[in-house]
Structure 1
Amino acid sequence: MNGTFLKNYGDIIWLLAGIIAGSVLGLVLGPNISVLKPVGDIFLNLLFTAVIPLVFFAIASAIGNVDRSQRPGRVIAVMMMVFVGTVLVAAFLTIVTIWIFPIHQQVVALPGFAEKVQRVSAGDQLTELLTTSEFFQLLSRKSMLPLIIFAVLVGTAVLQSGDSGEPFRRFLNSGNEVMKRLIILIMKLGPVGLGAYFAYQVGTLGPQLFGIYARSMAVYYGFGLFYFIVLFSVYAFIAGGVNGIKKYWKNNVVPSLTAVGTCSSIATIPANLEAAPRMGVPGYISNIVVPLGATLHKDGSSISSIVKIAVVFTMFGRSLTGVDTVLLALGITVIVSIVEGGVPNGAYIGELLMVSVYGFPPEALPPAMIIGTLVDPLATLLNATGDTVAAMMVTRFMKARPDPHPVPEPVTAAS
């Protein structure tokens, strides 16, 4: 049991250990800890350079390998509307929660950080957000969204090339595997790199930093649990009324425990597939929605994405208000939800995208990474268990009938 726990949570434990050790060093040494800042900078630079080819290969290979012979078009279309809809609901309600319980009321903008934020006109921002004028600019971390769009186009072109594009498809697959292994190797340095950077932040900013993280954790876990209990019940009601709520919660216990125990949406797929028929979801829907949902449907990541944005805005003296700011935040959460499940440590792609879109300097990345580490257990619970209630809604919207002989209820020791 201990071996399984360490296997599932080992990376998180080591990251937290590094952060705690860095905090202690920062408190003890104060400003003198700045000697460790280059260690954190080296880690960030490695991550920045590796994530660019990782994103390209991951997205292009995923699209290029779509099986064109299988066209469950209507299910996928309804599924994507449900996925995007719930992600946007989660993100917007998180923004409202932050407006009600603002993180920035407890802190003062970090010294010197606000001056580093780049501000451009709306038209220029839209152009730079979606495109670059030169190919080599796609290789910059400041062009994450143009890179994603380019990767989608390349993957689509490979898909349409048929047999003539097979060698390039194999190249994309190979590159994807190599870059995934590279990011795993770099993240082994995470406890040291993030620990050094956190030590620098604590040493230079002092206790104020802990107030930022404590309040953001209170917002995330408070709203996250509310979303899990109330919003999932609302989704189940939409899918099947009061009976839908009963079916969902009665059969969601095992998937929930699996998600928390493994800290993995992928590992929760078997439990979700077993629970879905008992929730009234026919097999031909659950067999599409649940596996794809583990990669594409991330309500918990949507919530954490907004909290990360709010924390970084706080540290740079900006406010999470304004139509353009909110729309960009919602757009980022949708992209993160779709992209992050296909790559290791995929949430960092969202953090890099946030830094790029809002024009923040590299100093914005470590706080967002730390938030992602601290919220991971609840984020996984929301990500994984949201797939079955999404499958219930897909069933309702398609007016599909449950399987005539669903999986029987599990036999308990008492029975």
Structure 2
Amino acid sequence: MGLTTKILLGMLAGIVAGVIIYAVGHTLMPGSALANFLDTYLTQGLFDIAGRVFIASLKLMVVPLVLVSLICGACALSEGHRIGPLAGKTLLLYLLTTAVAITLALVVALVVQPGTGVEASADATFEVKEQPPLSEVLVNIFPTNPVQAMAEGNMLQIIVFALLMGYAISRCGEPGRRVSAFFNDLNEVILRMVGVLMVFAPYGVFALLAKTFAELGWDFMLDLGKYFLVVLGVLLLHGLGFYSVLLKLLSGLNPLELLKKMRPAMAFAFSTASSAATIPVTLATVEKRLGVDNKVAAFTVPLGATINMDGTAIMQGVATAFIAQMYGIDIGLGGYLTVILTATLASIGTAGVPGVGLIMLAMVLQQVGLPLEGIAIVMGVDRLLDMVRTAVNITGDSVVSTVVAKSEGAFSEEVFYDRNYNSVAGGMDGGGEARPVAQ
């Protein structure tokens, strides 16, 4: 059995176990000794510990993997003077997909009308965190202390530092070649660490989903079921439909191949609900299974995990229409166009800011004069949706990475269409080299 299959089975088993534990504790035997035992020793004990350890292990790999991979990629790009065109294409595509995501969300929400007939809760309150001014956000992209940026996991600052260092290495002649060789070797060592971690992935995924569904239940669906289903439907439409069309139009590649090979990374994203924590898996999958060269993937994947917020944009679009309908406020065509523009630009302008999803939604609602109390209402069903939109986000990262790599001549169709790779990192057996795995 391949690692991909094990991860998907772990994901399914975790959901089933969580639903059973929730049913025992809330429906069949609430307050019983068995329910208390399951909650104390499994949900809050074993599953919680195993899941948190697994997330911590993934986060452990993020900064060194992004830094080293991006330095290696920047060295190669700088030699061919391709950093500018690569960055331009990547940013343009990420902005395009975000604009399409929120437009699609608004259109579907206006047609379905999920907020019609829903009564606004009188006691709903939401306190908006003060957002930094745009000038401060732009200045903070550039690090004053790269060690501090790495310690805090500030992706944009790490990306800027790595690009600068990679460019400098490529311009240093023989000393630069020695340093470049060191980072290339270090990159292989880090990929081996990722491969070792993947052995425990099915168990980590199981623990994360078992705990989530043991606590979640289905009560959250009753009051806001229509809103939940609209957001979920648009997420699936964008993730499976729009990305497939975009990939086919811009690269001519088969979208089904990409979706098949991204399944394990999607499972990770769904389980962790964190694009940043999934970076090691996404990067390994994009390189080893999709055939994207490291010099492109090392730039597009970390940047996408930071600024590509298609899933969040979809939530904002549906939430804006839902809140407007719930309060009976007509913001008009101009208001909805403002929502599209604000959310698209905010996806970059608020990158790296804590609680970015809520800050972006608050910014959008403030721009069109909708009550911020509506956020407290929709956030009640946001937990599972957050998992789905993270999977959509990393799928978008992989599509943009593939399209940009194909346009830059840094792509292998042989690897993309090779179906003999069976592990999460494209056949990695714990080392940095990819190998075919028998089906």
Aligned with 2:342 (options 309, 332, 340)? 332
* CA distance in 1 between partners of 2:129 and 2:357 (Å): 17
Task: Please state which structure has a larger fraction of its residues in helix.
Answer: 1
Aligned residue for 1:385? 395
Alignment of 1:160-175 (within 5 A): 169=144
Deviation at 1:362, TM superposition (A): 4.5
**Correspondence for 2:110:** 99
Question: What are the within-5 Å matches in structure 2 for residues 176-255 of structure 1?
Answer: 213-241=224-252, 243-255=253-265
> Structure 2 length normalisation: TM-score?
0.55
For 1:269 and 1:111, the matched residues in 2 are separated by: 41
1:222 to partner: Cα distance: 1.5
From 353, 376, 379, the counterpart of 2:363:
353
Structure 1: distance between partners of 2:269 and 2:350? 17
The residue matched to 2:85 in structure 1 has which SS? helix
User: How large is the Cα RMSD of the aligned pairs?
Assistant: 4.2
Query: Residue 307 of structure 1 aligns with which residue?
Result: 318
Counterpart Cα distance in 2 of 1:102 and 1:255: 33
Amino acid at match of 1:312: I
1:103 Cα deviation (Å)?
1.9
Residue 281 of structure 1 contacts residue 392 of structure 1 at CA under 8 Å; is this kept in 2?
yes
Alignment of 1:395-406 (within 5 A): 395-396=405-406, 398-403=407-412
The residue that corresponds to 1:266 in the other structure is 276
- 1:326 Cα deviation from its structure 2 partner: 1.4
Q: Which stretch shows the higher mean deviation, 372-381 or 147-156?
A: 147-156
Per the alignment, do residues 244 and 280 of structure 1 end up closer, same or farther by CA in structure 2, a change over 3 Å counting?
farther
Query: How many residues matched?
Result: 289
Gaps of 5+ in 1: 21-66, 114-139, 160-165, 180-206
Q: What is the DSSP-based 3-state SS (H/G/I as helix, E as strand, rest coil) of the residue aligned with 2:275?
A: coil
Question: Identity percentage over the alignment?
Answer: 23
TM-score between both structures, scaled by the size of structure 1: 0.58
2:352 maps to which of 338, 342, 346:
342
The CA distance in 2 between the partners of 1:260 and 1:332, in whole Å, is: 27
Measure the CA separation in 2 of the matches of 1:112 and 1:321: 27
Instruction: Report how far residue 334 of structure 1 moved.
Output: 1.7
Secondary structure of 1:106's partner? coil
* 3-state SS, counterpart of residue 332 of structure 2: coil
- Structure 2 counterpart of 1:393, which letter? V
**Could you tell me which residue of structure 1 aligns to residue 430 of structure 2?**
none
What is the distance in 1 between the residues matched to 2:240 and 2:247?
11
Q: In structure 2, do the counterparts of structure 1 residues 373 and 112 end up closer, same or farther at CA, with 3 Å as the change threshold?
A: closer
Q: Which residue of 2 aligns with 1:148?
A: 133
Q: Tell me by how many angstroms 1:359 deviates.
A: 3.4
Q: State the Cα distance separating 1:251 from its structure 2 match.
A: 1.3
1:82 aligns with 2:93: yes
- CA distance, structure 1, for counterparts of residue 145 and residue 105 of structure 2: 41
Output one character per residue of 1:128-184: Cα deviation in whole Å (capped at 9) or x when no partner: xxxxxxxxxxxx96984xx4323145447xx5xxxxxx8xx459x69x9699xxxxx
Given residue 411 of structure 2, which amino acid in structure 1 is its aligned partner? P
Deviates more, 1:330-339 or 1:220-229: 330-339
Q: 1:364 aligns with which of 364, 374, 397?
A: 374
The structure-2 alpha-carbon separation of the partners of 1:109 and 1:343, relative to structure 1 and needing over 3 Å to count, comes to: closer
SS at match of 1:279: coil
